[in-house]
Structure 1
Amino acid sequence: MTSILILNGPNLNLLGTRQPEVYGTTTLTDIENLCTAHANKHNIELKFFQSNHEGALIDAIHDARGTHDGIVLNAGAYTHTSVALMDAISSAALPVIELHLSNIHAREEFRHKSFIAPVAVGQICGFGAHGYELAIDALVRHLG
């Protein structure tokens, strides 16, 4: 059975109430339930982890080696700042799909640069919570 880690970074625990005009009203729990229902239809095992701390996200990426087949990563603002997350992804040697709820390319200029993109299989952004389903599907297809 394919096993995927769904990894969410800073401030995503506030989904549903944080800037709903940008991120919508769907909560992180709602997203986890959506992903679980989608995964169950396709015989995929999911594990969820969210942290506001860069080191905890790095540890989760390292711990995914030998446990999961790939990672769906919404690194939040760390996408635009964290060389450490980029290095962790490279070191873990697992396929990663970079995910964003909003279209980062249609937002502030500083959000256009991603340190994750160069080490990710691909990037999905702008589709809200549905992006998680798209990311799961893309990762499964990539894994073959």
Structure 2
Amino acid sequence: LQLETAAGAAIRFFDNAIGVNVPRSRFLPVKATSDLLLVQSDLYTLVDGFVARNKARTNTTNPAIELGPEFKKVASFLSRFKSIPSIVELDSLKVSGDVSFGSGVVLKGKVSVKANSGTKLAIPDNAVVENKDINGPEDL
């Protein structure tokens, strides 16, 4: 049974109910495609049937991920990635417009990718993008 903020008030209606404080590191809700990107990436690994943070990540917080409306629906999100990029060394990512990612892409530091209206922007296979603002193919 999972109770969140509004539903948490209902706990008083259960006999002998207790609450458990679960740290964010052990609770990975997927409410948006930006959350889906995190859990599908190499930021987390599966160890003995449990999801664990990748030990290669030195930053204790998750990267800030902001995806534009083109990524909002799961089907649209999935169609824009040949494979989920490596984000172990990513601090923040902002993507807007008609952007797609090739396979083997690595994102590091602070990355912003924007396709201008009416244009498509494809991050090529095996690209390593580090601390970069990409506004067109010339920026790759």
Normalized per residue, which structure has more strand? 2
Shorter chain as normaliser: what TM range?
Answer: under 0.3
Q: Which has the higher helix share?
A: 1
Which structure carries more relative contact order (alpha carbon 8 Å, separation 6+)?
Answer: 1
TM-score between the two structures when normalised by the length of structure 2: 0.28
